[in-house]
Amino acid sequence: MTPTLLFLGTSDSKGVPRLGCECALCQSVRPSARDFRTRASLLLQATEGTILIDTPPEVRLRLAAEHRPAPDALFMTHPHDDHILGFSDVVRSARTMQRPLPIFAPAEVFTGLRDRFGYLWESPTWSQEAELTVLEGAIEVAGWRLEAIRVHHGRNGWAYGYLMERSGWRAGYFSDALHVSDEVLGRWQGLDLLILGANFWKEEAPLETRSVYDVQEAITVAQGASVRQLILTHLSHKIEYATISPLLPSWASLAWDGRLIQISPIERTNPDEADGTNSTSSPDALYP
Ligand SMILES: [Zn+2]
Ligand SMILES: [Zn+2]
């Protein structure tokens, strides 16, 4: 099978529609619309198996809706509700599958998870359900090379994102980041695909109250890092697909729940492109 990335969820922390909101989008959006969003997670699929990044509250329902199996491995970015509230649903699939679920995260992410889900850790069957690996540096799982990268998450402190590599194709998944360090920007340099969280088109709130890039900042950052493609996720109710999409450069686009990216080997005929200038070729050429 062609390796794929599937956006299971693409919303900011509150979901779209946002509960209690009377804005036009929240009032009108219906399931199956591109603006109907569940909390952010990503599924990597390949012949060797399936990797899930994050377990938002809706993850079990989203896996079912997309007809996807329980994942073979789980990677976690940070212990905030919108990324973890489906954790026990996914971990408990291990019982049904009759094998422990390999779970990968940096140590401080596991600490946060244990604070929230201590009852799982204390369960007598925990060792049959979960096989924990503390990430230090890159790791090879199911044909992918993944590396956790710690990023600044504004007023929310810190989060991790993942660099993902497969057959020379390099991508980054950073759903929750703001004003990352020069060192992290260096790691994004020339990526074939950067997936970046952006809550709003332009966020007017004071910097100290913010936690994620806005769309315009994300484009500037991606341009600075000369990534070939940018896909924006972690989108709020203020991002209307039909309005915002036409405003993006040709190499940038919005994610939606159920968006599937097929990873095909990239032909780099132009040597200048090999070191990662923003591609002007059609995204469809890269991701048929
Ligand atoms: Zn988040
Ligand atoms: Zn709203």
Give the residue-averaged pLDDT of 137-144.
96
Give the residue-averaged pLDDT of 72-92.
97
Give the lowest-confidence range in 97-106, 217-226, 259-268: 259-268
Give the residue-averaged pLDDT of 270-280.
40
Segments making up each domain of the chain, as ranges = 4-262
Centroid of ligand 1 to alpha carbon of 212 (angstroms)? 8
- Among residues 173, 177, 222, the alpha carbon closest in space to that of 199 is found at 177
Per-residue confidence (pLDDT) for residue 266, from 0 to 100: 57
Class (C level, CATH) for 4-262:
alpha beta
Per-residue confidence (pLDDT) for residue 208, from 0 to 100: 85
Q: For a pLDDT cut of 70, what percent of the chain falls above it?
A: 92
Centroid of ligand 1 to alpha carbon of 106 (angstroms)? 17
- Among residues 8, 9, 5, the alpha carbon closest in space to that of 235 is found at 9
Per-residue confidence (pLDDT) for residue 285, from 0 to 100: 34
* Ligand minimally distant from the alpha carbon of residue 19: 2
Count how many Cα atoms sit within 13 Å of the Cα of residue 113 in the half-sphere of its side chain: 29
Name the pLDDT band for 282 (thresholds 50, 70, 90): very low
Which residue reads 């969280």 in tokens? Answer: 197
Give the residue-averaged pLDDT of 104-117.
98
Per-residue confidence (pLDDT) for residue 264, from 0 to 100: 78
Centroid of ligand 1 to alpha carbon of 57 (angstroms)? 12
Residues within 5 Å of ion ligand 1, judged at the Cβ atom: 13, 82, 176
Name the pLDDT band for 53 (thresholds 50, 70, 90): very high
Give the residue-averaged pLDDT of 252-267.
88
* Pair of tokens at residue 26: 């929240």
Distances in Å between the alpha carbon of 287 and those of 192, 193, 234, 248, 261? 11, 11, 21, 18, 6
- Among residues 92, 157, 171, the alpha carbon closest in space to that of 126 is found at 92
Per-residue confidence (pLDDT) for residue 269, from 0 to 100: 42
